[in-house]
Amino acid sequence: MITSKLLPDLLASEPGWMTIALFSQRDCAFCEEVRENYLRPMVRLRRPRIAVAEFELNGTRRIRHWTERGPTEAEFARQHKARFAPTVMFFGPAGEALAEPIIGLSRDFFGAYLEQRIQAASKVIG
């Protein structure tokens, strides 16, 4: 069930685009902080060629995958070895990993880590 607190679940498949995916859990204060302070502002600013999505680690809804109706959120998390919340991953238009994931929340440096990974991912997809 989608709650209004979640970010979209659509994975970008356009050439040159990346998806920043937040793997979260319900009632996770750290997940909420990442979502509200870092990722939702990115959605509002409509950063070029960046899609932002959120998936619950134990979620049962099917996601819209790059090529077809995809796995459940939990299956998708397991496929990408997302075990802890929050985990932020960076995917290319074919589902390839573009940068190292960010696991957990470091309040002092999270914004810098996020920007560093976005820059690294941007170099990979051109």
pLDDT for 28? 95
Range of the domain at 97: 18-125
Smallest Cα–Cα separation from 69: which of 20, 10, 3?
A: 10
By percentage, how much of the chain surpasses pLDDT 90? 63
CA 13/CA 116 separation, integer angstroms: 22
- Does some domain include residue 63? yes
* 111 occurs within a structural domain: yes
pLDDT value at 3 more than 50: no
The yes-or-no verdict on residue 8 having pLDDT over 80 is: no
Question: What pLDDT is attached to residue 67?
Answer: 62
Q: Domain for residue 1, yes or no?
A: no
Given a cut of 50, is residue 1 above it in pLDDT? no
In a domain, 12, yes or no: no
The CATH number assigned to the domain holding 106 equals 3.40.30.10
Per-residue pLDDT band for 2 (boundaries 50, 70, 90) equals very low
Report the pLDDT value the prediction gives residue 102, as an integer from 0 to 100: 98
Domain count, the chain: 1
What is the model's pTM? 0.89
